[in-house]
Amino acid sequence: MSEFAKLPKPPYYAVIFANQRSLENEAGYQQMAARMEELAEQQPGFLGADSTRGADGFGITVSYWADEASIKAWKQQGEHLQAQQSGKEKWYKNFYVRVAKVERAYEFEK
Amino acid sequence: MSEFAKLPKPPYYAVIFANQRSLENEAGYQQMAARMEELAEQQPGFLGADSTRGADGFGITVSYWADEASIKAWKQQGEHLQAQQSGKEKWYKNFYVRVAKVERAYEFEK
């Protein structure tokens, strides 16, 4: 996802997910991440996401949601619950999640 | 910055800065970015930041601040104003900034 997420005007919600990959089984990780992206896009209230990761395995994904209810519904989605469990067991060394209400936004394009 | 920003309990503010590098003058960019990090750390209300960039030049930096006033003060800081101008002129192809109030947070560590 290197295209910017195109979003409506604020307010909406952001979920900031920062994580350190364990750097094992890269192919399996990519497959899981692509599946989660596909599923998230089907969730009600999903607005978009941006994600990047450096060569050191440190990644930040910010997903955007219409409201808190849609964030909570995604967190409880069945396949996503399994992925969260796998994330703790094998994909990530550590991570944090911060849920925030976007109040204002601006952009620049050449 | 591949260490997680250690933060107080919410609420506090996040500035989500996503950008596409123009991929010119990498050494000059790194120097500017390091200087901005150094300056931000001296600003009142600065709580921490996490940043990463992929091989494609797409980067996300999330900085955390005590309140809106400290975000506005940083945006107006003299050397930072110059860097913002250079960012538009040469460092970035495009970017967005989203200012959000962090309402809740959790983390995981092995």
CB < 8 Å to A13, chain B: 100
DSSP 8-state class, residue B6 = P
A79 within some domain: yes
Q: CA A28, CA A34: separation in Å to the nearest integer? A: 10
Query: Which CATH number covers residue B24?
Result: 3.30.70.100
A2 has pLDDT over 80: no
Contact check, Cβ <8 Å, A50/B18: yes
Q: What is the pLDDT of residues B15-73, one digit of tens each?
A: 999 999 997 889 999 999 999 999 999 999 999 999 999 999 999 999 999 999 999 99
Per-residue confidence (pLDDT) for residue A11, from 0 to 100: 98
Its domain, for residue A68, covers: 12-102
- Helix boundaries (H) for B1-110: 26-42, 68-75, 78-86
A89 has pLDDT over 50: yes
* pLDDT mean over B83-90: 96
Per-residue confidence (pLDDT) for residue B33, from 0 to 100: 96
B6 within some domain: no
Contact check, Cβ <8 Å, A14/B14: yes
* Percent of chain A residues topping a pLDDT of 90: 90
A71 within some domain: yes
Q: Least CA distance to B100: which residue of chain A?
A: A102
Contact check, Cβ <8 Å, A52/B62: no
CB < 8 Å to A15, chain B: none
Nearest residue to B5 via CA among B60, B38, B46, B53: B46
Q: Least CA distance to A22: which residue of chain B?
A: B110
Number of domains in chain A: 1
Q: What is the pLDDT of residues B21-34, one digit of tens each?
A: 997 889 999 999 99
Question: Is residue B48 within a helix (H) or strand (E), and if so which, with residue range?
Answer: strand B46-53
A2 within some domain: no
Contact check, Cβ <8 Å, B62/A58: no
Report angle CA A60, A64, A70 to the nearest 5 degrees. 125
CB < 8 Å to A18, chain B: 4, 50, 62
Mean pLDDT over the full length of chain B: 94
Q: Work out how many CB contacts closer than 8 A connect A with B.
A: 121
CB < 8 Å to B72, chain A: none
Judge whether B10 and B104 are in contact, CB under 8 Å. Answer: yes
